[in-house]
Amino acid sequence: MRRPRRLRRGVLLPEGDVLTRTAEHRAAPGAIDAGEEGRPQGGGDAASGSAVARNAFYLTLGQAATTALAIVMSAAVGRSLGAQDFGLYYLVSAMSAFAYVFVEWGQSLFVMRMVAREPARAGEFLGTALAMRSAFAAITTLPVGAIAWVLGYGARTTWLAMAFILSTLPVFLAQGYGMVFRARDRMGRDATVSVANKVVALAAMLPALALGAGIPGIIGAQAVAGLAALAVASRLYRRLGAPALRLSRATARELLAGGTPITVMTAASAIHPYFDAIILSKLASPVSVGWYGAAKTVLGTLMAPAVILGQASYPRVARASGELASLRVAVRAALRPLLWLAALGGTGTYLFAPTVIGLIYGRGDFGPAATILQIFAPGLFLLFVDILLGNIIYASGGGIGFAVAKIVSVGIAALLDVLLIPWFQTHHGNGGIGVVVAYALSEVAVFVGALIVLRRGTLGAGAALDVARALAAAAATLALFHLLPALPAWAGIPLCVGAFTAASAALGLVNRKDLEMLRLALRRREAPAAPDEPS
């Protein structure tokens, strides 16, 4: 007979049964699914929506802080290195990012899903995952260097690529703790780790750049910051009261098997920017690589809301995936705010890209990066949607079909890169434009694949109507700015946000239910912290 475990709200559940009967648990209005945290995860749409909003709230706070720090760092790096060396920095970071797909081996989504369902196994999942990350990082370093050498990049680029991988390992281990924080709806802890990493990185990087250390100095600063973040993550994990870390061969086999389909999908995603960087560096000028790297850095910041909402809703979707009605409610709750942000982000990118690039990098060296951003603005909307759909598919336990769609999209993008980069380089002196045009067109294949793979009935007519509302709000905002004279950024950006929000409310994209969910999240934030919550 299994020993019962008492949860804080007086509910008795047998050990291991906290989240195993999702359908029955979600079907009862007012049911409590507290798990380890003692916080209601169910209880109808309002309570579940509040959990998603609360998660997004913590992640947004963290993202706001890290974005501000990242902008300062990116500005310092870009202005210190110049467009050509910034292009080299972007190239070696793209090589490292692709290598880390195999270092991770699909752990993030798989471990979050499993810990959300079986919180008692958090220690063995995390301990084994961190050990595997360390081993895989050492294994992948030499192949990355060998590939760079074979591609003809020379000794400097080869050694920088290898050093970049090793310097990134500490922060990657720190981020591993976030798998448990997110699975247990403690997004504030994950945000704390990210902010700590950025603060230390900035403090170490600025003196290195001032001393002329260049790219090696940046890599060294990243290693120092990663070690600091790892110390913070370890301390926050201990304060969480979760099981102690331990290594398990059986769990390692489980991670390898469970992570394989996710790795296929993430490799298909990560090979896309890897190919982009390689092809662009071979077919365009070095400064074009720098311009594209600057634009891609800004795009990474713009994509953060989609990543936040996908991650914030992931535990809820994973728990609701056993019953179609609950799954549909969870997906709609995540989709509406994402569509709002996607349409606003695309609109703002088109209108204010020159201002943003000028403020961060300066228009002298990096002005053409603004054109790259503006041309990709429509594709940003589709990319937001694809990110969320991918999270939904994996939270529901699928992924192979979506990975196939990603692979097809990579093939389409690579073919278009070869055709479009030289054309835009010859006619406009900016091969990076060809990359973003190819990227946007390839996302169509991803979207179609996601619709095919999604469980039938997950998206309904309401979702299609929300998409139309978001696009209509964007069109209304663009029409307004077309009629107005040119405005300075301090006036234009608030007007853009206000006009888009008003159009969204008038069209029904934002309603009272969304505001109530935000109110519940804020009220939760103002409540006294649990004993194990960091101050």
pLDDT score at 52 = 54
pLDDT score at 458 = 76
Question: Measured between alpha carbons, how far is 436 from 442 in angstroms, rounded to an integer?
Answer: 10
Whole-prediction pTM? 0.71
Q: Which residues contact 519 (CB under 8 A, 6 or more apart)?
A: none
pLDDT score at 309 = 73
pLDDT score at 190 = 79
End-to-end Cα separation, the chain, in angstroms? 39
pLDDT score at 307 = 76
The one-letter amino acid at 358: G
Question: Measured between alpha carbons, how far is 74 from 221 in angstroms, rounded to an integer?
Answer: 13
Residue 66: how many CB atoms within 10 A of its CB?
A: 21
Q: Which residues contact 481 (CB under 8 A, 6 or more apart)?
A: 351, 487, 492, 496
Question: Measured between alpha carbons, how far is 288 from 479 in angstroms, rounded to an integer?
Answer: 32
Max Cα–Cα distance, the chain, nearest Å: 75
The one-letter amino acid at 251: T
pLDDT score at 347 = 95
The helix (H) or strand (E) run that includes residue 5 is strand 4-6
pLDDT score at 408 = 87
Mean pLDDT by 10 residues, the chain (535 residues): 37 28 30 34 47 57 70 84 89 90 84 81 88 92 91 91 92 89 77 87 90 90 93 89 85 85 74 89 92 89 76 73 76 82 92 90 86 92 87 72 81 94 94 94 89 79 86 95 89 93 88 59 41 35
The one-letter amino acid at 446: V
